[in-house]
Structure 1
Amino acid sequence: MLTIEALTRRFGRNTAVDSVSLSVDRPAMIGIIGRSGAGKSTLLRMMNRLTDATSGQIVFEGRDVTALKGAGKRAWQSQCAMIFQQFNLVPRMDVVSNVLHGTLNRRPVLATMFNLYPDADIHRAIGILDRLGIAEHAPKRAEALSGGQQQRVAIARALMQDPRIILADEPIASLDPMNAQIVMDALRRIHEEDGRTVIANLHTLDTARRYCDRVVGMLHGRVVFDGTPEQLTTGVARDIYGADASFTEDSTSTAIETLDRGTVRALREAEAAV
């Protein structure tokens, strides 16, 4: 289905993603974890072709995605939808129009400029919003909604593309726990009910364990773990987050200061789980 072979991205002298190889042979919900700067977001952006690879290859059902240009590239970005941490909605535009933007890649430019959409697309957009529990907000401006509601609008926009793959870059990082659960429940349901592959960058081990069938750990641009949530032990978490093997809850403040908050939280979650 999807094969990533030795995918690499360099920015000057810095290597953000270093020879990553992954294979997805059937629809799955996959979580990518790692400390800040591990290369998670760059990897997803390369998969969607928002960022070009320096070297390596992405192959989807026998087609070389990294070689696509123009209309072929846009068609791939419809098949491989992207959801962002900051939603990327048009704040002053109504919710249903934001969702309809998921059809832009296959619509005439003039129709888009005048915000003209077929009735069938409008009904479909409202149906998707209803599925996500926010149909009543369809006529409101996107900026009037809460963060969790805006993220569900972003998910609806992605579904409007009818994608084979959904990429979610830290989709719950800016949300409170209740809204984070609603968003993750929605993504899991979309995977199970629609048979779509969902690949999400996640900032907590608990979320990856709860929602994902497979977890990929990255460190310094490389994949250092690829397995099931049950295989994500404390020792593995230390490898992924690059912590010293002696790290414990009572570690000195000096040791803690060398790690970002997400890393410390992830390690403590791992220790609490065993």
Structure 2
Amino acid sequence: MLLSVEGVTKIFGRNVAVDKATFAVERPAMIGIIGRSGAGKSTFLRMMNRMTDASAGRLVFDGRDVLALKGAEKRAWQSQCAMIFQQFNLVPRLDVVSNVLHGTLNRHSTLATLFNLFPRSDVHRAIDILDRLGIAEQAPKRAEALSGGQQQRVAIARALMQDPHVILADEPIASLDPMNAQIVMDALRRIHEEDGRTVIANLHTLDTARRYCDRVIGMRDGRIVFDGTPEQLTTGAARDIYGADAGFSESATSTSIEALETGADADAAYASALMGD
């Protein structure tokens, strides 16, 4: 068993943000987690990466309970479990290649990091990763000069510099236009297929989950209420996940270019009210 999530729970005061989450992953996969705002998706990823401590439960990856790790072992796990965020979390005034090289910070001294003294081999690897993602020509530019989609690919490159076992992506396309959203999701899918890495992505939209993921987990009020294949994610199942009524429209959650070109404003307003983070 590659990953076993056993009753993982997070309580903030009287609020149960994640309630006994339980599922297992036998082999590397691309998994989408969907649900409306406040469902517990981001909190779960933050617990898995150990940015937030769990209140209860076990999360066993490759035979090791990562929720019990401390000190150097915890930091080593965070290197093996890379995070990608909605807002990119780059250093705007640094050049692109330096931002990517920050994925190796756990392997270098503080002094070397302060003066950007990275080994030549790391610099070459960073540029190779940028080339793989189609943005090698952006390497010398400041991160702030790039488009949102390009910045998110820099964030993915930084994650790959860690050479992680798992990539966690928290709403990686929520702030992107449809064209850049497709480019970013294509990159994540390719990384899973070519590298054999497990990718777990929090997603808002049903069409994205169906198109890119091998498996979809739906969360509602902190609980897992759906766990199945993209084909099993019917409109009825989606209504249950989002707590929606019969007026729920799948086109309201679409990020596809075609759907956006033909979609209705009312659907967009419905989706925004229902799922906006």
TM-score with structure 2 setting the length: 0.90
Query: Cα distance, 1:263 vs. partner?
Result: 3.6
Task: Tell me if structure 1 keeps the 8 A contact 2:36–2:275.
Answer: no
* Structure 1: runs of 5+ lacking an equivalent: 250-255, 266-274
> 2 CA distance for matches of 1:150 and 1:204?
21
**Matched residue, 2:255:** none
Aligned to 2:55: 54
Residue 91 of structure 1 aligns to a residue whose secondary structure is: coil
What per-residue deviation string (whole Å, max 9, x for no partner) do you get for residues 125-145 of structure 1? 000000000000001000000
- 1:271 alignment partner in structure 2: none
Partners of 2:92 and 2:67 in 1: how far apart? 32
Deviations 1:139-173 (A, max 9, x none): 10000000000000000000000001000000000
Q: 2 CA distance for matches of 1:222 and 1:113? A: 43
Equivalent pair of 2:204/2:275 in contact (CA under 8 Å): no
**1:84-115 superposed Cα distances (whole Å, 9 cap, x missing partner):** 00000000000000000000112112211221
Letter in 2 for 1:21: T
What's the offset of the Cα at 1:234? 1.2
Contact kept in structure 2, 1:167 and 1:200, CA below 8 Å: yes
What RMSD, in angstroms, separates the aligned Cα atoms of the two structures? 1.7
C-alpha separation between the residues in 1 aligned to 2:235 and 2:248? 11
TM (normalized to structure 1)? 0.91
- 1:236 partner amino acid: A
The aligned residue for residue 256 of structure 2 is: none
Residue 154 (structure 1) aligns with: 155
**Kept after mapping to 2: 8 A contact 1:204/1:262:** no
Is 1:242 matched with 2:253?
no
Amino acid at match of 2:225: V
Shift of 1:247: 2.8
Aligned partners of 2:7, 2:107: CA distance in 1, in Å?
32
Counting matched residue pairs gives 258
Structure 2 matches for 1:101-250, cutoff 5 A? 101-244=102-245, 246-247=246-247
Q: Is contact 1:132–1:152 with CA below 8 Å preserved after alignment?
A: yes
Structure 1 residues 264 and 86, CA gap change in structure 2 (3 angstroms): closer
CA contact (8 A) 2:30 2:212 kept: yes
Runs of 4+ off more than 3 Å: 262-265
Residue 242 and residue 165 in structure 1: after superposition, are their counterparts in 2 closer, same or farther (change >3 A)?
Answer: same
What CA deviation, in whole Å up to 9, does each residue of 1:188-228 have, x standing for no partner?
Answer: 00000000000000010000000000000000000000000
**Equivalent position amino acid for 1:100 in 2:** L
Q: What residue number does 1:4 align with?
A: 5
Specify the SS of the correspondent of 1:23.
Answer: strand
1:37 and 2:35 correspond? no
Change (3 A) 1:97 1:12: same
Distance change >3 Å, CA 248–CA 171, structure 1 → 2:
closer
In the other structure, the counterpart of 1:268 is none
5+ residue gaps, structure 2, are 250-266
Contact 1:36/1:260 (CA < 8 Å) preserved in 2?
no
* TM superposition shift of 1:262: 6.5
SS at the partner of 1:88? coil
SS at match of 1:56: strand
Q: Give the Cα–Cα distance (whole angstroms) in 1 for the partners of residues 207 and 113 of structure 2.
A: 41
What fraction of aligned residue pairs are identical, expressed as a percent? 79
